């Protein structure tokens, strides 16, 4: 990492890794203050949407030295896209973070079309964005994280054997819920910020029914934003209502789940959601 970026993201390194499926990923690794793996190995916390999220979440590594509420040491591993793919991270995440067979909600398509009409997206960009939702592979991306990336992090950064975490926001939050419901044993805690459960026919509901009363033991922390529910955008209203339904079903079944409602919009909620996850699931 260049000197300039080192000043912004202290103790952060970067490397690129091609997955077994042929996709190129960029990985930012932020070590805890004064980290010495030889004496105190720390678990890893994987943060999705690294191209967007690393600048807002990696600096929170300093919470591990906060005298008023210390967070247990962790190594942050922010996962995004590399090379030319980095320019297209906003649509490539659809391919990687959305569960296989997830229906495309009408409200989501309408939101994309609104973006075209407002000039926020071109017609070509919108078509490419929606095309990535026609064949989604959260299962393959989860396999990449657990079977390809994590062994590399273990080897190069001397992580602890247990206590690892995962955090995702929006479609990353949908992926976090999906990962939790698969029963993945790598993660001790999972943070799902404003998870993108946009439709009532989401695969998340089917997976929840398949689990019946056999819910995972990993801690799940789910956050929502009040301005999503109280605003006038149907895609965010549905997301919030459906995520709340998931939460109610989990708590009714005695799931290891906590939650928080944040005073944010969907765009501004990422950092607040990550901090809520740290405070709830990783406090000393």
pLDDT value of residue 3: 52
DSSP string, the chain: --HHHHHHSTTEEEEEEE-TTS-EEEEEEEPPTT--TTTS---EEEES-HHHHHHHHGGGGGGGG-SSSPBPP-EEEEEEE-GGGGGGHHHHHHHHHSPTT----HHHHHHHHHHHHHTSS-HHHHHHHHHTTSS--HHHHHHIIIIIIHHHHHHHH---SS-EEEEEETHHHHHHHHHHHHT-SSEEEEEEES----STT-HHHHHHHHHTT---SSEEEEEEEHHHHHSS-HHHHHHHHHHHHHHHHHHHTT-SEEEEEES--TTTHHHHHHHHHHHHHSB-
Residues 29-36: what's their mean pLDDT? Answer: 90
pLDDT tens across 175-195, in order?
Answer: 999 999 999 999 999 999 999
pLDDT tens across 86-135, in order?
Answer: 999 999 999 999 999 999 988 889 888 999 999 988 999 988 889 999 99
pLDDT tens across 220-273, in order?
Answer: 999 999 999 999 999 999 999 999 999 999 999 888 899 999 999 999 999 999
pLDDT value of residue 6: 56
User: What confidence category does residue 203 fall into, taking pLDDT thresholds of 50, 70 and 90?
Assistant: very high
Range of the domain at 106: 3-281
pLDDT value of residue 7: 60
Calculate the average pLDDT of the chain: 93
> CATH number, domain at 213?
3.40.50.1820
pLDDT value of residue 206: 95
Total count of domains within the chain: 1
pLDDT value of residue 5: 56
């Amino acid at each position: 990492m260049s000197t300039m970026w080192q000043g912004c993201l202290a103790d952060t390194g970067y490397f690129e890794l091609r997955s077994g499926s042929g996709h190129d990923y960029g990985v930012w690794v932020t070590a805890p203050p004064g980290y010495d793996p030889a004496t105190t190995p720390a678990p890893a916390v994987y943060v999705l949407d690294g191209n967007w999220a690393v600048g807002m979440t990696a600096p929170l590594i300093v919470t591990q030295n906060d005298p008023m509420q210390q967070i247990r040491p962790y190594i942050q591993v922010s996962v995004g896209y590399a090379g030319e793919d980095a320019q297209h991270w906003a649509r490539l995440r659809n391919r990687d973070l959305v569960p296989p067979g997830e229906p495309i909600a009408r409200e989501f398509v309408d939101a994309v079309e609104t973006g075209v009409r407002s000039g926020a997206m071109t017609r070509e960009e919108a078509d490419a964005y929606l095309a990535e939702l026609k064949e989604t592979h959260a299962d393959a991306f989860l396999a990449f994280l657990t079977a390809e990336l994590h062994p590399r992090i273990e080897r190069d950064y001397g992580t602890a054997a247990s206590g690892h975490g995962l955090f995702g926001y929006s479609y990353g939050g949908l992926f976090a819920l999906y990962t939790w419901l698969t029963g993945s044993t790598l993660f001790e805690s999972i943070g799902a910020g404003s998870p993108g459960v946009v439709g009532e026919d989401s695969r998340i509901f089917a997976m929840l029914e398949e689990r019946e009363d056999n819910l995972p033991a990993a801690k799940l922390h789910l956050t929502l934003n009040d301005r999503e529910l109280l605003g006038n955008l149907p895609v965010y209203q549905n997301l919030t209502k459906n995520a709340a339904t998931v939460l109610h079903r989990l708590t009714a079944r005695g799931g290891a789940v906590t939650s928080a409602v944040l005073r944010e919009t969907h765009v501004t909620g990422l950092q607040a959601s990550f901090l809520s996850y740290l405070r709830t699931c990783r406090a000393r």
